[in-house]
Structure 1
């Protein structure tokens, strides 16, 4: 073979090899992007926890588990139609695992089922979405409602049997709300005198809770109730504003989520208790399940229980416990765990009240 022909063949082989390698490299990149992208769809941004805790913790845990994984995050701003478009866009993009906290669990069924038929694994997060979900990570929500009821009874003490209670329940589109309500009723019914008013609050809206509480004050009179059950802290904030506007003090008021404004209301006495749900183990477990699912590994050790929805039974689940937080045990719960350091809670305006509680 002469030198000229050798150079031609060598060059051709080099070009062919380079083209093959480039093609393989592109294929790997596309495949990697498709296989290693994990979606995170959170329902709204009014509650402090979603942006400050859930998103941050899930992202951090995934980054330690999987250097190749990317997190595709979207927030629906409490709009079901927006979340539907976000979900479908992730599926179209090729995301194979989606952590979904649904705005409307029932509405999500058709999206989840359509995604499952395409091999997409959906982890129902915090709220149990309807449809063919692969796993569920949340809390025992009836127990949380029971804790709320027990906290009201404890605050009322010997006056509980004669007490009248107002109940502001969660959003009718949230599958957790009936569980909170049932748990609270299981404890309160027969232990307090009467539930004098009860309403479900669409979208967990604080403004609507304030409006309803204002109406109750007008209809029942300032002395017409002794305690207010609020399904979460956001609505408790609305109820607290209505009570303050009416000049009412010493009304037992409880919520849920241990949000910073609620903890500050505990300090001032505007709120009596909240429920502390440890977001970190919930969020980290969801991230670890997502990682295992995307790699085709077993999730049995991470989801040892099962849960049933209206559309599917035997869903692998992990349900965490929660605890009551009052101003007396705040230091040994949310402050100790670093969820809300004392310097976050104790602003300049609350310095004196914090000092009286031994919070520095």
Structure 2
């Protein structure tokens, strides 16, 4: 799976799929999540009130369709809470229209992962006027009016990526002044992407300054659109004279594009980072084509968001639901949100099994088509 500036860490064992700061697919289908679009409506009778969930797209990450939508549906259904889960398919007008319809239908809480902060802030103002509580999910809308935010420590995600690349370069005995290309996510639309970059640059900038490494280029994959990744990296690589020693890729989808280009240039084996711990990224890691990814346990994120929404619907204290919220400052809106920020986790070839143990993916899913590689790595 995209992507800003200010973080507070809330202790928790977490990591997620996406897969991602990050960085990412988003959506649900008919009466159950599908890969296409539409809505998921869950009947519930245990509590008075309904929650509306709007996810941003199905292109920036596979997580929204595969994980967020079904996990949220189950969490609300198990609690007897009615839910309407829809995906805007990257269309900002559609996102706003869905929100207006949900508000008109009387939802008590909106849980939104916005395509961009301006669209999200606009929806939040409409919700506030109607007395609807809003939770920013995964991405915070700077300048908005939501009172709550549920995500991961996204600057921490970036720090793991930066340190991961450093570790990989050391393992390959990279020479002093080794050249690095940074492939940022959608910093033009997503604050998480800004935070990821802030995190890995906090690790790498001192090493650039002392000559340990050299930053060859820092490119942006605008809008987190995967189709922009290969051309952007190709241009950066060409500008660097066709040579690179390591690549920061903001998520696994960008990493996949980078790896494809590297192979075409006979540069296989150059360390590449990622994020989301999705099937593709983990397969690249097991095959030695990607050196690390960051696991953000979407189940923990979805469960935390659902617990918070349910508490708001019932009018109970979120702390009573076992949630520990911290202050999160929005510098653009000059306001403070209550935030649940979960802890990400580094994944390398040595601990891919942890993703399976967490229940995020099965060995069969990860190993499809690379069974012999998995067997050699002890994945089961």
| TM-score where L is the length of structure 2 | 0.81
1:159: Cα distance to partner? 2.3
In the alignment, what sits opposite 1:166?
181
Q: Distance in 2 between matches of 1:252 and 1:81?
A: 40
1:177: Cα distance to partner? 1.0
In the alignment, what sits opposite 1:176?
192
Q: Distance in 1 between matches of 2:363 and 2:68?
A: 21
SS at match of 1:44: coil
In the alignment, what sits opposite 2:220?
200
Q: 2:201 aligns with which of 185, 192, 205?
A: 185
Q: In the alignment, is the contact (CA less than 8 A) between 1:211 and 1:242 conserved in 2?
A: no
Count matched residues.
324
Q: 1:267 aligns with which of 282, 286, 291?
A: 286
Q: What are the Cα deviations for residues 189-239 of structure 1, in whole angstroms up to 9, with x where unaligned?
A: 1224211111221121222111111222323233x2111111111111111
Q: 2:351 aligns with which of 329, 334, 348?
A: 329
1:160: Cα distance to partner? 6.6
In the alignment, what sits opposite 2:108?
96
Q: What are the Cα deviations for residues 176-197 of structure 1, in whole angstroms up to 9, with x where unaligned?
A: 1111101100001122421111
Q: Distance in 2 between matches of 1:33 and 1:269?
A: 49
Q: What are the Cα deviations for residues 274-295 of structure 1, in whole angstroms up to 9, with x where unaligned?
A: 1001111110010011111111
Q: Distance in 1 between matches of 2:160 and 2:183?
A: 16
| TM-score where L is the length of structure 1 | 0.86
Q: Does 1:127 align with 2:165?
A: no
SS at match of 1:110: helix
In the alignment, what sits opposite 2:162?
149
Question: Where do 5+ consecutive residues of structure 2 fail to align?
Answer: 1-44
In the alignment, what sits opposite 2:307?
288
In the alignment, what sits opposite 1:299?
318
In the alignment, what sits opposite 1:228?
247
In the alignment, what sits opposite 2:153?
140
Q: Distance in 1 between matches of 2:91 and 2:216?
A: 32
SS at match of 1:190: helix
SS at match of 2:272: strand
Q: Distance in 2 between matches of 1:182 and 1:273?
A: 18
Q: In the alignment, is the contact (CA less than 8 A) between 1:227 and 1:253 conserved in 2?
A: yes
**Whose helix proportion is higher, 1 or 2?**
1
Q: Distance in 2 between matches of 1:288 and 1:209?
A: 36
Larger mean CA deviation between 210-219 and 38-47 belongs to 210-219
1:79: Cα distance to partner? 2.1
Q: Does 1:318 align with 2:331?
A: no
Q: Distance in 2 between matches of 1:110 and 1:78?
A: 16
SS at match of 2:64: helix
Q: What are the Cα deviations for residues 113-147 of structure 1, in whole angstroms up to 9, with x where unaligned?
A: 22112111010000002311021101111111101
Q: Distance in 2 between matches of 1:91 and 1:235?
A: 36
Q: What are the Cα deviations for residues 233-272 of structure 1, in whole angstroms up to 9, with x where unaligned?
A: 1111111111122221111101111111111111122211
SS at match of 2:335: coil
Question: Where do 5+ consecutive residues of structure 1 fail to align?
Answer: 1-31
Q: In the alignment, is the contact (CA less than 8 A) between 1:206 and 1:237 conserved in 2?
A: no
Query: Which has the larger Rg?
Result: 1
Does the C-alpha gap of structure 1 residues 160 and 233 become closer, same or farther in structure 2, counting only changes over 3 Å? farther
1:107: Cα distance to partner? 2.8
Q: In the alignment, is the contact (CA less than 8 A) between 1:164 and 1:194 conserved in 2?
A: yes
In the alignment, what sits opposite 1:253?
272
Aligned alpha-carbon RMSD (Å)? 1.8
Q: In the alignment, is the contact (CA less than 8 A) between 1:34 and 1:93 conserved in 2?
A: no
In the alignment, what sits opposite 2:22?
none
Does the C-alpha gap of structure 1 residues 285 and 34 become closer, same or farther in structure 2, counting only changes over 3 Å? closer
